[in-house]
Structure 1
Amino acid sequence: CLALGIGANATIFGVVDTLLFRPPPQVQDPERIVRLYFRRRLPPFGTNTSSITGYPLYTLIRESARSFDALAAYTYSQKASLGRGVDARRVRVVLASASYFPLLGVRPALGRFYLADEDRPDGPAVVVLGYGFWRASFQNDSGILGRQLQLGRSSYTVVGVAPERFTGVNLENVDAWVPLTTATPELMGPGSLNRGSYFLQIIGRLGPGGREAAEREATLAFRAEDVYSGGDSNAVALLGPVQHARGPELSQNARVSMWLTAVSVIVLLVACANVANLLLARALQRQREIAVRLALGAARLRLARQLVTESVLLALAGGVAALLVTLWVGPVIRAFLLPDIPALASAVDGRVLLFTGGVALLTGFLAGLVPALQVGRADLTPALKAGAGEGRYRRSRLRSALLVGQVALTVTLIVGAGLFARSLRNVAGQDFGFDPAHTLLATMDLRAAGYRPAQINQLNLQMLARLEGLPGVEAAAATIGHFGWATASSVSVPGRDSIPQLKAGGPYYQRVTAGYFAAMGTPVHGRAFTPADRGSPVAIVNETMARLLWPGESAIGKCFLVGSDKRCAGIIGVVPDARRFNAVEDASMHFYVPFTDDSSEFITALVVRARGRPQDLVAPVRAALQQTAANLPYAAVTPLADLVAPSIRPWRLGTTMFGVFAGLALVLAAVGLYGVLSYTVAQRSHEIGIRMAMGARRGNVLGLMVGQGVKIAALGAGIGAVAALAGGRVLSSLLYGVSPRDPLVLLGAAVIPLVVAAIASYVPARRAAKVDPVVALRYE
């Protein structure tokens, strides 16, 4: 029991330590490094706090905030194509200023980092490789220095290799770093360094002036940049720890950490109560021995200390077993909970060892405290009498209370698992506006490879023709705009002064080829586009747009104006709202127009509907795309289900997390109930013998003992259900389409421990029913 409880907490500590407390590997003096956040009002949405900003604000703070010893800017890892043709692959690249590595105090494992005079718009294309990428892709070849690598459309010279385990200050895998101002126009798009762009994070190393002075100077610079502060005179810059999850904006990692900690502590409390109950039963078995020792002059404190010491030794042994549990399941749990975060340390290191030892000592002390307190209040007279069973039996109230507490804590976890499972079913089973189960999305960054919009469109249409003839392809289409990509447009309706504005912004639009809705598996009310519609002023709108602009009437046949186009786009169809970025998001107006050859925009993706499993088409589709022309960059071909999955992951994680820990707590509670009832049967054998001698049947005895276990579980389930109702508001913001007071979940959470209690009680109850009255009635 202790091994499972402590092992669960040690494993979760390793995860939480990675997210919240462990400093980034190889970084020097991490306590002096801060991450900058920017808080301002965004009418009508309220206050917004974000660490994402733009290059002009970074340069202004760097030049004016003298309380920083150094300042650096960098991006999240960006996907880039390495190489060309069929051997091209996707790598993760961070764009960072030249001050990034010196600020962090890291030293290269090989070569050097790029210099300040190399980090300029017309600077040389140089790259620093990540250690893991260098080892996996180039087999630790020290001759990599000076070699040319094709990233995007440019050839980059390798100048160095980062130290082992260094991945920067964000918890993400990184393959390479490139100079910020040199690579931004190509990898992030033209104009990304201009005012109004948002793609950078800023870190700083505090100088002698301290945090308050640095925060004040950064705030003055932030307010001076009206584009970023929005003219808010109360806008402020905040300094947070280098660990992003501990910053002022509550990240997903921070939420995960809090819930992981909470559920693991509950499991530890269940294990602690379990062991305390078993130790209490053992102490009561030794009651006569303890009473004799007290009568002979032994100090109560000494005997209590002995019981606590025995409990601590038992817990330390459980701690050793817990380390084995952590070594075995730790990497699996961490890979599931943090799939995109590199393993920065082994599952068991010095920090985990210290934590495990501390938890074992605390658990042993708390578990041993209960029998120790009993010893301190023990009455010698009844204990010294022969057959002091009555005195022992009266003390079963405490054991029952501990069991009730275990069941109550377990029920709260079962309720959490049930609520998350219902939420997961609701999220995953909703109408996404397309069919993610049978559709592939193919993207290729031809712009970064140097192609112009007209060339990109021509090449994509050639690719589309190849895909349509590919075996296993049911339908295919091209689109300007896709899942994860939204373009807004101004819209007006003839005869109206304005249209409604939504929190999600918009309206958003896509240009698509004929067959797009068939490829996406989207039903169309009205008719879909045909090849004859190319260039015609027609449109298809989503249900939200149809409902808001033409309430109570059919939108088909109506028309609206797009931007400066004087032609009124006639609506020929209505489609369900399609998710743009996440599985759950606010409704927005969205419309579709036919693709035109003379468009200044370029195709961003191809969509392919598979007849069978979309995974089986990934390799053939990628090969067909990259064989369309020579030296093409990497083609990313991904099932839409995989793109939607990350936004469903919080509910999947919550379901698994609460489910696993609820199951573990249920096992611990069942073991505790079995142990206590087995002890009760042994202690009450004399009473049971009398009952059977007086005519009680074996079925009566069986029912008596099973009923005792079920009554304890019923009381615990009731208390747990009440606690879950009281704490349901904490979970409500994390749920989707289900109330924290869902009666089905509460009923199931109450019934499960009753069934488990009945099963756990059956074996000792069966043993009680087999008691021989003649043997039981003999005087002990």
Structure 2
Amino acid sequence: MDTLLADLRYAVRQLARSPGFTLGVVLTLALGIGANVAMFSVVDRMLFRPPPLLHDAGATHRIYLAQTWSGKEQAGGYMQYARYVDLTSWTTAFARTAAFTEHDLAIGAGAEAREMRVGIVSAGLFGFFDAPPALGRYFTAAEDSPPNGTAVAVLSHAFWQTRYGGRREVLGTTLQIGPTVYTIIGIAPEGFVGLWPVQRPVAFIPITSHASALAAGRRETWWTTYSWQWLSMLAQRKPAVSVAAANADLTNAYLRSYAAQRPGSPGMTPAEIARPHAFVASVLSERGPRESSFAKVATWISGVALIVLLIACANVANLLLARALRRRREIAVRLALGVSRARLLSQLFTESLLLALLGGLAGLVVAEWGGAVLRAQFLAKSSDVSVLGDARTLLFGGAAALCAGLLTGLAPALTQHADVAGDLKAGAREGTFQRSRVRIALLVLQGALSVVLLVGAGLFVRSLRHVRVIPLGYDVDPVLLVDLNLRGMQLDSARNVALRRELLETAQAVPGVEHASRQLTVPFWNFRDLDLHVGGIDSVHRLGDFYQNAVTPEYFSTLGTRLLRGRGIEAQDGAHTPRVMVVSDAMAKTLWPGRDPIGQCVKVGADTAPCTYVVGVAENIKSEQLGDDPGLFYYLSTAQWHPE
């Protein structure tokens, strides 16, 4: 210990003699370490860190369902409540299961209402966590049973503190969440955020009570229909069950459920063609089969940050090498006086580690303040993410600083050899530094890594240019999307229809607005719900995914989507006129190749439904990803299908 302290004091004295050199090295390392710490704080939460308080995270999985469409397998994590019940009932590989989703709902009523994130979960979700309630209780399976569930809510600990001041008397009081008034029955423990550690819910409500309110205007029973995919499933494997066995068990249950669905959906693709199967994956959605573009970009930027750190280390190693070569005579004298080579190497590494420590501390400041921009881009704005207060991120920063110190100290250590007499004779002779093979290797490494960064940046710019010219099928710049938030107010059907029509008329009258319309969904947020039946085609859905939208007149003019043939949805397409639809060019070519789609009959919802006639063909729009093939879209009249 005395030797270590002596080496540390010696390193401090050496660095204090060259403040400019020390500052330059520290700032160089700070940028490299800070960039990596900032990206780790993002990537760790997206791809590696399980939700807080989750019990047995290694055995807990999200469930994904996969089918084959047009020869291509597609997997997704959303399913129907009926499917969730089937998979729960017909599997034996899991100790527990739960259904969940989340939405931004109005909390409170009237002018005091604020839109906040709410966890919509089945009663079984709480059993996945080591998180007994801080106050009151969680809702039970009896309170979470269809058709209506019970309007009870559990508040998050943070929301309880901020809104109610931590008062115990909150139990038994009511709180309006969305259109429903809930009775508060419990407070979650501090740190419990369910499955959403980034965008944390303020409350948890039964999935059945929310579904009953959400499906109030639907014609079918939400708990038995297979046409409404809106929730996800969580499952925990039993101790002796492998992932392969769980996948096989799930697939068998999914096949039974798929067969049970067919009598009510005769247009379904046969199982022999669709090849439905189910599998488990990480509890983190970003590590599932459909990694988001945010996760891909974050991973790419992390690689860039690592290269920046390596360049910084090579640069600092070169500086330390130059410093060590200038001190060759001093080092040779110390060796001649009896200082051991091990002690000398210890001093060199202590100096580099001290510089790395200072660079790491400065890097944490860079990561905290400069990394805020990255965290705002990749993580939800409501998440409380701090580098300085997170143990895992601090540990990573320390490890990065240690590695940087060892790497930068390695170069001067390699130049120390046994020829003391030669070093004494050489003194500070010019040319020694220039002839150093280690220095040349470091320069080559810096150049190579810099070329990698430049090539990557060039490819990124080229990809960005290509993306900008990809036809989306609509105009981005002049279009504004307006969302209606009633802040918990409940309107009857007639008033709801009148309000939406009034808002549309008001928007159309705003100066500068050329077109305005209403629609069921918007681009890149697509809706698949109704079965389609076309004469001469056994199963329409085996040809691909068909996306529905219900729109008002002027929709195509508003979005800038061109009509290639026929007409769009017009004012005369009302509830008492023949049903009409506009199809995308890709859908027209898929269903009627080489034929005129105008006037063709499509039965929507059931093969016994009246014909909906194709009156127009619109240009293709992108469905979910820019690189995807054109989506198969059809547009209905809101007056005929969704008057609300």
TM-score with structure 2 setting the length: 0.78
> 1:22 is matched with which residue: 14, 34, 49?
49
* Contact 2:153–2:186 (8 Å) recurs in 1: yes
> What corresponds to 2:172 in structure 1?
146
AA partner of residue 319 (structure 1): G
Structure 1 Cα separation of the partners of residues 139 and 43 of structure 2: 34
> What corresponds to 1:279 in structure 2?
320
> 1:127 is matched with which residue: 115, 137, 153?
153
AA partner of residue 519 (structure 1): T
* Contact 1:500–1:548 (8 Å) recurs in 2: no
> 1:519 is matched with which residue: 541, 549, 558?
558
SS in 1 for 2:620: coil
> What corresponds to 1:588 in structure 2?
631
SS in 2 for 1:177: strand
User: Structure 1 or 2: larger helix share?
Assistant: 1
Residue 270 of structure 1: how far off its partner (Å): 0.7
Residue 297 of structure 1: how far off its partner (Å): 5.1
> 1:193 is matched with which residue: 192, 217, 223?
223
> What corresponds to 1:477 in structure 2?
517
SS in 1 for 2:415: helix
Q: 1:380 to 1:29 in 2, by over 3 A?
A: farther
Q: 1:264 to 1:93 in 2, by over 3 A?
A: same
> What corresponds to 1:623 in structure 2?
none
Deviations 1:520-546 (A, max 9, x none): 344556766654565477765544456
Q: Which runs of 5+ in 1 are unaligned?
A: 605-780
Residue 289 of structure 1: how far off its partner (Å): 2.2
* Contact 1:127–1:178 (8 Å) recurs in 2: yes
Structure 1 Cα separation of the partners of residues 540 and 87 of structure 2: 38
* Contact 2:534–2:601 (8 Å) recurs in 1: yes
Deviations 1:397-435 (A, max 9, x none): 432331232132123223323333333344345443333
AA partner of residue 464 (structure 2): L
* Contact 1:79–1:93 (8 Å) recurs in 2: yes
* Contact 1:479–1:603 (8 Å) recurs in 2: no
Deviations 1:549-584 (A, max 9, x none): 78899x79x53223265686444xx54323455555
Q: 1:105 to 1:42 in 2, by over 3 A?
A: same
Residue 501 of structure 1: how far off its partner (Å): 8.4
* Contact 1:524–1:575 (8 Å) recurs in 2: yes
Alignment of 1:730-745 (within 5 A): none
> 2:205 is matched with which residue: 178, 187, 192?
178
> What corresponds to 2:403 in structure 1?
362
Structure 1 Cα separation of the partners of residues 252 and 592 of structure 2: 47
AA partner of residue 123 (structure 2): A
Structure 2 Cα separation of the partners of residues 476 and 545 of structure 1: 26
> 1:439 is matched with which residue: 479, 482, 489?
479
Residue 266 of structure 1: how far off its partner (Å): 1.1
**Larger Rg computed on CA atoms:** 1
Structure 2 Cα separation of the partners of residues 51 and 176 of structure 1: 23
SS in 2 for 1:160: strand
AA partner of residue 376 (structure 1): H
SS in 2 for 1:42: strand
SS in 2 for 1:158: strand
* 1:486 is aligned to 2:518: no
> What corresponds to 2:264 in structure 1?
none
> What corresponds to 2:34 in structure 1?
7
Alignment of 1:547-558 (within 5 A): 558=598
Structure 1 Cα separation of the partners of residues 422 and 164 of structure 2: 80
> 2:61 is matched with which residue: 1, 19, 35?
35
Q: 1:36 to 1:576 in 2, by over 3 A?
A: closer
Structure 1 Cα separation of the partners of residues 304 and 138 of structure 2: 44
Q: 1:238 to 1:157 in 2, by over 3 A?
A: same
> What corresponds to 1:624 in structure 2?
none
Alignment of 1:364-379 (within 5 A): 364-376=405-417
SS in 1 for 2:514: strand
* Contact 1:219–1:235 (8 Å) recurs in 2: yes
> 1:155 is matched with which residue: 181, 185, 189?
181
> What corresponds to 2:11 in structure 1?
none
Alignment of 1:659-678 (within 5 A): none
SS in 2 for 1:99: helix
AA partner of residue 468 (structure 1): Q
AA partner of residue 161 (structure 1): I
SS in 1 for 2:473: coil
> What corresponds to 1:463 in structure 2?
503
> What corresponds to 1:324 in structure 2?
365
Q: 1:510 to 1:37 in 2, by over 3 A?
A: closer
SS in 1 for 2:201: coil
* Contact 1:280–1:370 (8 Å) recurs in 2: yes
Q: 1:46 to 1:434 in 2, by over 3 A?
A: closer
> What corresponds to 2:600 in structure 1?
560
* Contact 2:328–2:428 (8 Å) recurs in 1: no
* 1:422 is aligned to 2:462: yes
Deviations 1:645-665 (A, max 9, x none): xxxxxxxxxxxxxxxxxxxxx
Alignment of 1:250-265 (within 5 A): 250=291, 252=293, 255-256=296-297, 258-265=299-306
Structure 1 Cα separation of the partners of residues 492 and 253 of structure 2: 38
Q: 1:451 to 1:273 in 2, by over 3 A?
A: same
Deviations 1:362-419 (A, max 9, x none): 2111111111111136574265146632444322x43233123213212322332333
AA partner of residue 578 (structure 1): I
Structure 2 Cα separation of the partners of residues 470 and 191 of structure 1: 41
Deviations 1:69-113 (A, max 9, x none): 4332212x1233445556554333222111222331213344322
> What corresponds to 1:338 in structure 2?
379
Q: 1:363 to 1:170 in 2, by over 3 A?
A: same
* 1:288 is aligned to 2:329: yes
Structure 1 Cα separation of the partners of residues 411 and 367 of structure 2: 28
Structure 2 Cα separation of the partners of residues 161 and 276 of structure 1: 54
* Contact 1:95–1:184 (8 Å) recurs in 2: no
* 1:399 is aligned to 2:426: no
SS in 2 for 1:393: coil
Q: 1:323 to 1:409 in 2, by over 3 A?
A: same
> What corresponds to 2:119 in structure 1?
94
Residue 126 of structure 1: how far off its partner (Å): 0.9
AA partner of residue 262 (structure 1): G
Residue 68 of structure 1: how far off its partner (Å): 4.2
Q: 1:478 to 1:321 in 2, by over 3 A?
A: closer
> What corresponds to 2:258 in structure 1?
226
Structure 1 Cα separation of the partners of residues 278 and 382 of structure 2: 28
Structure 2 Cα separation of the partners of residues 490 and 114 of structure 1: 39
Structure 2 Cα separation of the partners of residues 153 and 497 of structure 1: 42
Structure 1 Cα separation of the partners of residues 569 and 93 of structure 2: 60
SS in 1 for 2:61: strand
> What corresponds to 2:234 in structure 1?
203
Residue 254 of structure 1: how far off its partner (Å): 5.1
Residue 52 of structure 1: how far off its partner (Å): 3.4
Alignment of 1:763-778 (within 5 A): none
* Contact 1:312–1:361 (8 Å) recurs in 2: yes
* Contact 1:292–1:384 (8 Å) recurs in 2: no
* Contact 1:34–1:242 (8 Å) recurs in 2: yes
Structure 1 Cα separation of the partners of residues 156 and 191 of structure 2: 9
* Contact 2:87–2:250 (8 Å) recurs in 1: yes
SS in 2 for 1:399: helix
